[in-house]
Amino acid sequence: MRVIVIGAGLGGLTLANGLRQAGIDVAVYERDEPGRRRQGISLHLDDRGRTALRECLPPEHTAMAEATLGGPREHSLLLSEVDGELAVAHRQPLAPGHPVRARPGRQAHRPLLRAVLLTGLADAVRFGAEFTRFERRAGGTVRAHFRDGRTDTADVLVGADGVGSAVRRQYLPGVRVVDTGKRTLMGAAPLRAVAGTGLPALIGHHPASARVRGTMMALGVLRFTEPPSVAREQRLPALPASAVAEVEDYVMWAMPVVRERLGPVELPAAAWGAAKVLAADLPPALRSVVDEAWPRATVALRGGVIPPVAPWPASSVTVLGDAIHLAPGFGGNLAMRDARRLRDALVRAATGEQGLLAAIGDYEDALRRDSFPPAGARDSAASA
């Protein structure tokens, strides 16, 4: 069996690792050039993402990823201002197994995780290759076409190409992405620059949010369990040294804002400027995480939703992750969970345990069931 994956994001790379581990031929096509992607700095990784990493990656890759997570995050904290000082006003346990609320987990440094996912896949990933369309071929294969005229043919084509998915646009043209008008400015400041404010000590490893003076800010501290450069030497020397150079503990922050209050913020410097204006009236500890932020790591995230999608007949084209469902705050975990499940389905098909279309159909049934839970099921726990 041969599989083409469009998109070298979290989902596509987890799938590619899983297929390779299972001995299935896989090629990944990525539009961006290496190192070009602005993708945010950190990620709350819950049981769904961590299980996928454990099951799809070679053991030394998983060990590297695990060693460089932050500490356990079991509560969310609500901070408020008491007599001019920030204090924890409320502490709520995160919700294990919950389909839509934050689950317990640990924080990951996103560029480092992606570098781990890419390690060992150099011969499988083609950068600078923008997918434009597919065509079905006699005999059931699928041919992918790319902007530069290249083509490639396989038994299965997977759209792991994110929210703007060109695969989904052709395959499931009825699927809508609705802009909610919400934007989130996100960034990070080195821990050493803000340690004196007392904020990192107040938060510990847990995700926190502050509602102060009419502004909301989410916060998280990433203290690497092992220094990344030491972990690389001991666990995954094949990881490029550049992936761990200058990586240090930090505080990440996020501020929601409506579209109308933001000017053009495509460039990191503009996003950082807008965040500084928003934070100007906040208490000094909160203001300093924005003022001290790395300008190039600041991004503005668009809020979007994909309304539930009706079942479609299974074929040799399928989708995963943000290409088919959006989940603010845990979409990366869902993309990796999809990748694990799709890997399992394709292995069943490759070994003859199940027909290809039946296996893809089962994967898609589970994807729709768990990604679009009915309103009544939102408060009940779901399976991982």
Ligand X SMILES: Cc1cc2nc3c(=O)[nH]c(=O)nc-3n(C[C@H](O)[C@H](O)[C@H](O)COP(=O)(O)OP(=O)(O)OC[C@H]3O[C@@H](n4cnc5c(N)ncnc54)[C@H](O)[C@@H]3O)c2cc1C
Residue 342 CB, nearest distance to ligand X (Å)? 12
> How long, in residues, is the chain?
384
Residue 85 CB, nearest distance to ligand X (Å)? 28
Residue 332, token pair as written in the block: 């990366």
In angstroms, the CA 71 to CA 123 distance is 34
- Toward ligand X, which CB reaches closer, 255 or 283? 255
Residue 305 CB, nearest distance to ligand X (Å)? 12
Amino acid at 234: Q
Nearest to 314 by CA among 133, 156, 152, 132: 156
Phi (first) and psi of residue 72, to 5 degrees: -65, 140
Residue nearest to ligand X (CB): 9
Residue 107 CB, nearest distance to ligand X (Å)? 8
- Toward ligand X, which CB reaches closer, 164 or 355? 164
Residue 76 CB, nearest distance to ligand X (Å)? 13
The label of the residue with tokens 């049981």 reads 47
Residue 281 CB, nearest distance to ligand X (Å)? 24
In angstroms, the CA 29 to CA 4 distance is 8
Helices 331-350, 356-371: inter-axial angle, 10-degree rounding: 160
Residue 292 CB, nearest distance to ligand X (Å)? 19
Phi (first) and psi of residue 208, to 5 degrees: -135, 155
DSSP secondary structure string, 289-350? HHHTS-GGG-EEEEEEE----------SEEE-GGGT---TTTHHHHHHHHHHHHHHHHHHHH
213: left (phi over 0), alpha (psi -120 to 50) or beta: left
Strand order in the sheet with 151-154: 131-136, 142-146, 151-154
- Toward ligand X, which CB reaches closer, 235 or 300? 300
Backbone CA torsion sign across 134, 137, 142, 146: negative
In angstroms, the CA 53 to CA 47 distance is 10
- Toward ligand X, which CB reaches closer, 32 or 291? 32
- Toward ligand X, which CB reaches closer, 5 or 191? 5
Residue 147 CB, nearest distance to ligand X (Å)? 8
- Toward ligand X, which CB reaches closer, 295 or 354? 295
- The site for ligand X (CB under 6 A) is made up of 6-12, 29-32, 37, 40, 43-44, 130-131, 160-162, 164, 166, 186, 299, 301, 321-323, 329-333, 335
- Toward ligand X, which CB reaches closer, 106 or 232? 106
Q: Are strands 142-146 and 151-154 parallel, antiparallel or unpaired?
A: antiparallel
Residue 300 CB, nearest distance to ligand X (Å)? 9
- Toward ligand X, which CB reaches closer, 166 or 317? 166
- Toward ligand X, which CB reaches closer, 113 or 239? 113
